[in-house]
Structure 1
């Protein structure tokens, strides 16, 4: 498939969306919810020393044809392709992740997000932030609480940037700071290469997967630690044991099917280099 072609029907079938295709806010809400629920966040290719490819043809082969998931650049590049095929006006942005950090932490712009221009205003769409990706488009305005199928979220100002926060239980937690400057795809290629190649990248040493669950839950796998977090902030935790248990969770919970060799290689790398205590704060 040529890089600039997008199979709209295949994407909508993959995410189970059968609603209106008109480029409206209602459609955008349905698409964000459907895509987030159907395609898991995961970075297993990086763990297997395979840098993800970001051209549309490769993304469609992996996440639609092979029914795999992906991390932020893959997820939001694919989602952007789908939105544009439907006639949405989309601007590509970046964000600085401050999950588990101070709001003004000096962070690089290593996360991809999308700005969607609609008659109602500008909205953030992000289907690629693991266990806290907004499951609804968010109006890009400060100091307004916005409900989603999962958490209540809001933006607050931090200089020229807007910090996305999520209400977890009775506290607000920072997620990332949105930089309101349009980006070009070459900048994502640079970030993707760094994230997938740097020896200290958490993705190269840890098995990570996440998806939103039913009843406002969030399900996260970080190495052996499987978490189901409820909207109250309470969490159910389970430690995985043998290879068959990992396979069952990846397949049944996250819809990720790996070959026996891929799973063995991933688990061997985690055993040698992975974090064996609490998860990285970005994935807590």
Structure 2
């Protein structure tokens, strides 16, 4: 966390202007602005490019080249920004539960942050994708916590916590994490493993959250969820349709077509067929 951060470029990228005091109010603004401006996207793993977590690479990609990134990139950048602003912040790892059977053995595959303000711990996560947190959550169990998008709660789970989201009046598990600080080497190794998994399984993903609307892309299926409305779902059937959504809905400065198009074609070919 000692790598110098270009705070000016970061603030310009997310559209932040205000007090930089390491307060809860500042953290709330940053946690809402980053997921709206810097999307979750894993195009580099899908293409087969390495994911780099050094600060120079992150700033070139996420700030200057107007790309997004996956959880290790997005939360690493956010962690270093917060540290530069004098927050007490630690990286943790999590086991993703969303989309898996309750009894499934899940490996560590995700990165989250613990932030302490006035001796009170908060969970912060600007890089989950489908349910990226758009507000910090008090790291206290059994209380419902509203964000600009959904309501969440934390439950005790072993030595740590399980995050759940309220969808259609039903609580759904998102991930489990232990508040144990991880080293940069552990995070880098896990990032390499997850990037390879995304590539091998053609698991294209993109997500952006702004105010009361979420845009989620999984493989070639786009879901738009506006608060209080039915989810809108669209199947993208060709490479051009995928590229248009990635560039407009997710506001991604796309990689060159000669490397991107074949990768997106593989994603569409590997996607499950819609039932009639």
Alignment TM-score > 0.5, same fold: yes
- Figure out how many residues of one structure are paired with residues of the other and give that number: 272
1:83 aligns with 2:82: yes
Q: Distance in 2 between matches of 1:158 and 1:103?
A: 13
CA RMSD between the two structures: 1.9
Question: Is the 2:45–2:199 contact (alpha carbons within 8 Å) kept by the matching residues of 1?
Answer: no
> Equivalent of 1:253, from 249, 253, 257?
249
1:196·1:204 contact (CA, 8 Å) conserved in 2?
A: no
Alignment of 1:63-212 (within 5 A): 63-102=62-101, 105-119=104-118, 121-198=120-197, 201=198, 204-212=201-209
> CA 1:256 to 1:218, structure 2 compared with 1: closer, same or farther past 3 Å?
same
Query: Which of 118-127 and 24-33 deviates more?
Result: 118-127
Query: With structure 2 as the length reference, what TM-score do the two structures score?
Result: 0.92
Separation of aligned partners in 2, 1:104 and 1:121 = 32
CA offset at residue 202 of structure 1?
Answer: 6.3
Confirm or deny: 8 A CA contact 1:169 1:232 kept in the other structure: no
Tell me if the contact between 1:101 and 1:174 (Cα under 8 Å) persists in the aligned partners: no
- Which consecutive residues of structure 2, in runs of 5 or more, have no partner in the other structure? none
In 2, are the aligned partners of 1:72 and 1:112 still within 8 Å (CA)? yes
Q: Distance in 1 between matches of 2:240 and 2:15?
A: 28
Alpha-carbon offset, residue 207 of structure 1: 2.4
Separation in 2, partners of 1:233, 1:103: 28
CA distance in 2: counterparts of 1:37 and 1:271, whole angstroms: 26
Off by >6 Å, runs of 4+ in structure 1: none
Provide the secondary structure at the position in 2 that maps to 1:175: strand
Please, what TM-score do these two structures have when normalized by structure 1? 0.90
Q: Which of 232, 253, 273 matches 1:236?
A: 232
Alignment partner, residue 218 of structure 1:
214
Residues 48 and 266 in structure 1, CA contact (< 8 A), matched pair in contact too: yes
Q: 1:223 to 1:107 in 2, by over 3 A?
A: closer
Query: Do the aligned partners of 1:75 and 1:128 also contact (CA within 8 Å) in 2?
Result: yes
